[in-house]
Amino acid sequence: QLYQIPEVSKPRHVRVNTLKIDVDSALLELGRGYMVQKDNLVPDLLILPPGADLHNHPLVTNGSVFMQGKASSMVAAALDPKPGWEVLDACAAPGNKTVHLAALMRGKGKIIACELNKERVNRLKETISLSGATNIKVLHGDFLKFNPKDPSFSKVNAILLDPSCSGSGTASSRLDHLLPSYATGHAADVMDTERLNKLAAFQRKALTHALSFAAVERVVYSTCSIHQIENEDVISSVLPLAASYGFQLSTPFPRWQRRGLPVFEGSQHLLRTDPVEDGEGFFIALFTKNNTVNYPEK
Ligand code: SAM
């Protein structure tokens, strides 16, 4: 077996949008057509049989359920925002993780969702409107140009950073590699290396920027890439600066077995998912400040 296509061979996951429906009611409704189970690790996530097609299911079209994979659903859950927090989603469109944050915060507190690309801002707004969330402010702009000292960010205590990446952990990107180079535009490996270096430079800048917001005590960084250069290397390169701000690496989902590549001390805190075994290749790192306090619910 050379290639395994996860879409047909792996279970499907959907995330229940608890702003619109509770998990048990969603399970009951979806259970009329499919064998459905709760995921034992990620809250509000349901597992459906391989090949289950929910695109036109009323719960999906009305925003009660989002077709979001397990790895993608782990990102906002790793940040673990509480109701009443102010959270900045730095690279937000199309907004799957933004509206997940809103659900985890039970609609209380504030989310600032930033997106650079104008067309994608529209997609972000559509996702937000579908989710029913009312506490999300959309900013069309460059996260790197946001001034961390601007008073409008003074209460932001957590940042979700899911920057542009190579996408090498996703099925469509891996299937790309089955095509000849003239069909994919991947002229040569050297081009890919150049592209990866550029992406990694941006990712490092964005992460450094996120860590510099004074009131921020939790930062989650994620990619849907399998490349060390976009993942472990980005994290290890910011560690000294992160430490100087009082951040350390924490362990999201400690029960999850697959951790970071062992390329620096502390990489066991990082989380990886495998593109074949887990259906998608994601990477998650969580920074927390030593003095993390429990914020009161507003
Ligand atoms: N978090 C999103 C989700 O789960 O639906 C996916 C985010 S996607 C991987 C990265 C997004 O970052 C893209 O929409 C891209 O346009 C945006 N982006 C890239 N550079 C940016 C910047 N400097 N400031 C803000 N957004 C940026």
Q: Could you tell me the residue ranges of all domains in the chain? A: 6-67, 71-289
**pLDDT the model gives residue 290:** 74
Question: Is residue 224 among the annotated active site residues?
Answer: yes
Known binding site for S-adenosyl-L-methionine: residues?
Answer: 91-97, 115, 142, 162
**pLDDT the model gives residue 185:** 43
Whether the Cβ atoms of residue 161 and residue 219 lie closer than 8 Å to each other: yes
Right CATH for 71-289 from 3.90.1150.10, 3.40.50.150, 3.40.50.2300, 3.40.50.200: 3.40.50.150
Taking 60 as the threshold, does the pLDDT of residue 298 lie above it? no
C-alpha–C-alpha distance, residues 286 and 78, integer Å: 7
Q: Which positions ≥6 away from 58 have C-beta within 8 Å?
A: none
CATH of domain 6-67: 3.30.70.1170
**pLDDT the model gives residue 175:** 53
pLDDT per residue as tens digits for the range 226-267: 999 999 999 999 999 999 999 999 999 999 999 999 999 999
Task: Give the pLDDT band of residue 172 (cuts 50, 70, 90).
Answer: low
pLDDT per residue as tens digits for the range 186-221: 444 555 899 999 999 999 999 999 999 999 999 999
Q: Is 143 in the pocket of ligand 1 (CB under 6 A)?
A: yes
Q: 184 in helix, strand or coil?
A: helix
Which atom of ligand 1 lies nearest, measured to the CA of 114?
25
Taking 90 as the threshold, does the pLDDT of residue 8 lie above it? no
pTM: 0.92
Taking 70 as the threshold, does the pLDDT of residue 184 lie above it? no
C-alpha–C-alpha distance, residues 252 and 286, integer Å: 7
**Percent of the chain topping pLDDT 70:** 88
State how far Cα 22 lies from the chain centre.
Answer: 22
Which atom of ligand 1 lies nearest, measured to the CA of 223?
9
Whether the Cβ atoms of residue 238 and residue 287 lie closer than 8 Å to each other: no
**pLDDT the model gives residue 207:** 98
Task: Give the pLDDT band of residue 112 (cuts 50, 70, 90).
Answer: very high
Q: Is 93 in the pocket of ligand 1 (CB under 6 A)?
A: yes
Whether the Cβ atoms of residue 64 and residue 86 lie closer than 8 Å to each other: no
